[in-house]
């Protein structure tokens, strides 16, 4: 649980280290109790446009998942913050790359994260982050992760994104394979004090299962572990980075990331990228087919796409994809 706020609101954010402020808010992991998040004071000089409070800087969607709970609660779901922090120990090439990435993302990633969590203080019960918290591995980014998710903070989990696995060293290019991810297993396991492949957190009788599914693929080991979670008999909300593809989501991805500017057909586009890997990998195909028939599944929370889209995944679950947090996106989900 996050400790109480040590900042007098009258001091303002500009009188404290911004990274310390953010880590204090994110303290116990991806699923944190929002009631303990400190509220930042307004600092107009650091905001992109005039506003009374930075808590107003969040673009929200609202959704409702009805399970039949005795007491309702809400979750702020964010994803794709793409922090690009560096430290003195980082080599010049990584510092230069981080500078370019910060410019590409607008340079407000840390501010967007801080504002999102500040909003959650008064408006949500929990916060979930579904991956790409960091843009790539630097000493600065991994140091930030350790401060956020230190072992003393608890055992709540985060979903890994594909960018958590990107090393950006020695000229190597990221690859969408389990073998490439394995190169970072030890580094990430040391930074995140929980199982980065699959973790279960039960909140008010709902089993939030966070799974490292960063290129659309699921491993055999994850399938077996998910079966153990299903055997608990609790309602399940699956939290992961890359969404499971549907025709509507494929259509939206093609529109947003493709070259065409206008819809010319309602037909689902050809499979490519993550969707193609999902549809051609036997283990993933079998898992998705089985998951679509699972009555305990009540929802899927994902990110990765950098835009908001929803579609029905199964008779009992809708898949909610949230836009990039670097653009201040988030979605509040009410569970009843």
In the chain, what is the straight-line distance between the N-terminal and C-terminal CA atoms, in Å? 23
Question: Whole-prediction pTM value?
Answer: 0.85
Does residue 4 belong to any structural domain of this protein? no
What percentage of the chain has pLDDT greater than the value 70? 80
Does residue 93 belong to any structural domain of this protein? yes
Does residue 163 belong to any structural domain of this protein? yes
Does residue 6 belong to any structural domain of this protein? no
**CATH number for the domain harbouring residue 271:** 3.30.750.180
Does residue 291 belong to any structural domain of this protein? yes
pLDDT the model gives residue 118 = 82
Q: Which two tokens stand for residue 175?
A: 């690859």
pLDDT the model gives residue 155 = 42
Q: How many domains does the chain have?
A: 1
- Residue 45: pLDDT band by 50, 70, 90 thresholds? very low
Q: What are the pLDDT digits (tens) for 118-168?
A: 888 788 888 889 999 999 999 999 988 887 765 444 444 578 999 999 999
* pLDDT exceeds 90 at position 268: no
Q: What are the pLDDT digits (tens) for 225-260?
A: 999 999 999 999 999 999 999 999 998 888 888 866
Does residue 8 belong to any structural domain of this protein? no
* pLDDT exceeds 80 at position 55: no
Where on the phi/psi map is residue 273: left (φ > 0), alpha (ψ -120 to 50), or beta?
Answer: left
Q: Which two tokens stand for residue 148?
A: 């956020």
CA angle, 267 then 270 then 276, to 5°: 135
Task: Quote the strand ranges of the chain, DSSP E.
Answer: 32-33, 59-65, 73-78, 126-129, 198-203, 206-211, 236-240, 297-302, 309-314, 317-321, 329-335
Comparing 57 with 273, which gets the higher pLDDT?
273
Contact 208, 300 (CB under 8 A): no
CA neighbor of 158 nearest in space, from 123, 189, 180: 189
Comparing 59 with 263, which gets the higher pLDDT?
59
Cα separation, 160 vs 84, in Å, equals 16
Q: Which domain holds residue 130?
A: 18-335
* Exposed/middle/buried for residue 161 (C-beta within 10 Å: 0-12, 13-18, 19+): buried
Does residue 10 belong to any structural domain of this protein? no
Helix, strand, coil shares of the chain, percent, nearest 5, are: 35, 20, 45
Q: What are the pLDDT digits (tens) for 98-108?
A: 999 999 999 98
Does residue 110 belong to any structural domain of this protein? yes
CA neighbor of 311 nearest in space, from 332, 329, 292: 292
Taking residues 176-205, report their average pLDDT.
90
Q: Please tell me whether residue 177 adopts helix, strand or coil conformation.
A: coil
């Amino acid at each position: 649980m996050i400790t109480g706020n040590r900042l007098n609101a009258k001091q303002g954010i500009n009188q404290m280290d911004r990274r310390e402020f953010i880590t204090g808010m994110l303290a116990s992991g991806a699923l944190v109790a929002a009631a303990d998040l400190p509220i930042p004071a307004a600092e107009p000089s650091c905001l992109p446009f005039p506003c009374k409070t930075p808590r107003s800087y969040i673009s929200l969607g609202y959704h409702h998942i009805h399970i039949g709970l005795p007491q309702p609660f809400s979750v702020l779901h964010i994803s794709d913050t793409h922090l690009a922090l560096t430290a003195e120990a980082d080599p010049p090439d990584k510092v230069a790359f981080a500078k370019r990435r910060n410019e590409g993302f607008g340079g407000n990633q840390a501010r967007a994260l801080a504002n999102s969590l500040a909003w959650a203080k008064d408006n949500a019960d929990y916060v979930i982050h579904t991956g790409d918290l960091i843009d790539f591995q630097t000493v600065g980014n991994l140091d930030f992760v350790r401060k956020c998710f230190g072992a003393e903070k608890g055992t709540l989990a985060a979903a890994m994104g594909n960018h958590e696995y990107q090393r950006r060293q020695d000229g190597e290019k990221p690859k969408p394979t389990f073998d490439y991810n394995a190169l970072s297993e030890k580094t990430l396991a040391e930074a995140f004090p929980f199982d980065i492949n699959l973790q279960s957190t039960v909140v008010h009788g709902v089993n939030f299962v966070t799974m490292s599914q960063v290129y659309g693929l699921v491993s055999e080991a994850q399938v077996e572990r998910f079966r153990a979670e299903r055997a608990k008999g609790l309602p399940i909300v699956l939290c992961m980075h890359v969404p499971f593809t549907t025709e509507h989501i494929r259509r939206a991805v093609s529109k947003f990331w493709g070259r065409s500017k206008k819809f010319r057909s309602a037909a689902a586009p050809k499979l490519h990228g993550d969707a193609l890997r999902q549809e051609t990998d036997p283990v993933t195909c079998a898992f998705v087919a089985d998951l679509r028939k699972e009555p305990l599944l009540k929802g899927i929370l994902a990110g990765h796409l950098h835009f908001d889209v929803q579609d029905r995944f199964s008779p009992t679950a809708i898949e909610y994809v949230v836009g990039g947090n670097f653009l201040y996106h988030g979605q509040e989900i009410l569970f009843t």
